[in-house]
Amino acid sequence: MSTIKTKKVQLGTDANSANNFTIYQPATPDGTLRIGVGNAENPTEVGQFNANGYKPAIFPAFKVYMTTNQSISNNTLTKISFDNIRFDTTNNYDTVNYRWTPTVAGYYSVYLTVHPAMASVNGHGYPLIRKNGSTYSLEYTQADTGNSSNGNCRVSALVYLNGTTDYIEAWFGHNFGTTKDIYYPEGYTFFQGHLVQQA
């Protein structure tokens, strides 16, 4: 049995380097094995293996929250103005249009929690996750006139996003009878998501 020692192995000889793959060790060895798209001379890393297993080079994940309360009119679906980013690993969240457009195609776990002023009122609060402007997932939370404290309204979804044009947004509506605020502290109202499976 013979041992082959090399820092780079190219798989494929296509004239278009994007059709070839390279398995390689970084210039300064760090216990990882890299996988790249392209020829051995100049591959673009797409992932790596280390002692813990496989790690993709790009792992989209985000969390955003508001910096002030937002007023929501009765019976009026309203996009939530999440204007502050806690983290956004791929810089895909738009703080002008309040939407996330990940650039990796795959299945994403998305979660929204909203803390509205719903103490001592009757009706429903309903947070929505919208994909490309259409409702994808929503949940109704019943308010109670006998409850003197506010509560949280939550919704989650597993959604496919194509990595180019698909985007998601967070919306909220209620029928509490009058305009109500949703409260801004990050622990009360936030929107987050992450890649579960690349496709």
Structural domains of the chain in order of their starting residue, each with its CATH number: 8-56 (no CATH), 61-198 (2.60.120.40)
CA distance 102 to 183: 27
Local structure of residue 42 (DSSP, 8 states) = S
d(CA 140, CA 129): 12
Cβ neighbors of 168 (< 8 A, separation 6 or more) are 99, 100, 108, 110, 129, 130, 131, 136, 159, 161, 193
Q: Torsions phi, psi of 38, nearest 5?
A: 115, 180
Q: Is the pTM of this model over 0.85?
A: no
Cα dihedral value 64, 67, 72, 78, nearest 10:
-30
Q: What is the full per-residue pLDDT of the chain (199 aa) written as tens digits?
A: 678 788 898 999 998 998 999 998 888 888 888 888 999 888 888 888 888 887 777 789 999 999 999 999 999 999 999 999 999 999 999 999 999 999 999 999 999 999 998 877 888 899 999 999 999 999 988 876 556 567 789 999 999 999 999 999 999 999 999 999 999 999 999 999 999 988 8
Residue 143 CB coordination number (10 Å): 24
